[in-house]
Amino acid sequence: MVDEIAVLCCAGRVELFLGVLSGVALLAVLVLALVLRGSRRRIAAQQSAQEQQAQSHADQLRGLALQHADAISDERSRTDAYEAVTHRAMGWDAASRDMILDVCEDLGIDGVLLTNIVFVPTDAKPFHRYAAQIDHVLVMGASILLVESKRWNGVVFDGINPASAHPSFRRLLATPPNGPFALQIVPDSSEQLIVRAYPNQSSLAPAAQARRQAARLHHYLAAAHGSVPHVDTCVFYSHPDAEVFARPQDTAGNVSTFIAAGYDGLRRVLRQYKPTPSSHGSPHPAVLDTLMAIAADAIELSATPAGFEPDSGDGSILEEHDDHVPGLTIREIRGVPDWFSNPRHHE
């Protein structure tokens, strides 16, 4: 009896142990299932995050590619526009360039004539970049002369009160402002004249334009090469049909600008030209290389002996002018229309 009880007790213990073991195993299976389920969720979440990151990266790359393509397209458009402006400007400047060459050959000037210089000034902001355009630069030894060419026809007053030419202008035109200025009277039709005003305040006065461009060019060259010679300025009225009333130099402010009208006027300026004193000496060859790199045209001038005949005439600045033209009326324009009125064309 005792043995049977002992056997039963052992069997009960074994059965209890197996039950506990089965419960532990079941618990382990449940825990493992939960762990695996959580792991799968984490893996799925990581994969989803990686896919989202990859998609976001791909979207960024596509956006950058589109921005790059747009930037290239914009740059090409700007380049095409600059080339178009350069081509047109070269056409405008060809006549004045040829006249400058003739005068230099006549006077036996040695140097380099550069035409249609285009560059981005040092003061241009990244978000507002623009190109400066200079008609001509004449490099002669230790001097740099910027020539602002104006192919204006009609009657031009540069720095001279029109009333000085004839009293009737006092009744027709307003008193010119202080500082550099210019007035152009040009036929608009057989019955009408146009008066174009170029005051200093609007920076359209030719002498003011030349000085501003000279300052930009000097800063541009100085930024690349350090100290460079002073850049002198000259306004050249090159149209053969222009009647120009002007002083030999515009001396408004602390800087002088030479004023030349036609072939004879330019010849007089270059004959008498003396560079502004400078401690920088002759332009370094690298400076000339920089100028040639940004110029549409560069011509080397060879010195040839030439005699200097005295200037003809009595040196009078103001010549007789017949202001009486029957049947004409004068229309005054405040500001200048079309190409002249857009400041971007003068940058």
d(CA 194, CA 183): 10
With a cut of 90, say whether residue 49 has pLDDT above it.
no
Q: What is the percent of the chain where pLDDT is above 70?
A: 69
Tell me the mean pLDDT in the region 82-104: 73
Q: Hey, which of 16-30, 147-161, 166-180 has the most confident mean pLDDT? A: 147-161
Residue 314's pLDDT band (boundaries 50, 70, 90)? very low
When mean pLDDT is compared over 125-139, 166-180, 232-246, the highest value belongs to 232-246
Tell me the HSE value of 206 on the side-chain side, using a 13 A CA sphere: 29
Pick the residue with more confidence: 158 or 279? Answer: 158
CA dihedral 117, 240, 336, 205 (to 10 degrees): 60
* CB 169 within 8 Å of CB 323: yes
CA max distance for the chain? 160
Q: Which amino acid is at 24?
A: V
Tell the residue number behind the tokens 């030439």, with chain if given.
Answer: 306
Q: What whole-number distance in Å separates Cα of residue 125 and Cα of residue 272?
A: 39
Residue-wise pLDDT for 257-287, tens only, equals 999 999 999 999 999 888 776 655 566 788 8
Mean pLDDT of the chain: 75
| Interior angle at CA 9, CA 8 and CA 12, nearest 5 | 85
Of 171 and 197, the one with more pLDDT: 197
Return d(Cα 267, Cα 130) in angstroms, integer.
34
- Model pLDDT, residue 306: 46
The fraction of the chain above a pLDDT of 90, given in percent, is: 24
Q: Where are the beta strands (DSSP E) in 66-181?
A: 111-119, 132-140, 143-150, 154-158
| Least confident window among 130-134, 137-141, 178-182, 317-321 | 317-321
- Is pLDDT of 214 > 90? yes
Tokens of 261: 């009208």
Flag whether pLDDT at 50 surpasses 80.
yes
Radius of gyration of the chain (CA): 40
Distance of CA 160 to the CA centre of its chain: 31
- Amino acid, res. 184: Q
Query: pLDDT digits over 105-151, tens only?
Result: 999 998 999 999 998 888 766 656 678 899 999 998 878 999 999 99
Give the residue-averaged pLDDT of 25-35: 75
pLDDT (0 to 100) of residue 345: 34
At 218 the pLDDT is 93
Query: Quick one: DSSP state of residue 125?
Result: B
- Please, are residues 197 and 205 in contact by the beta-carbon 8 Å criterion? no
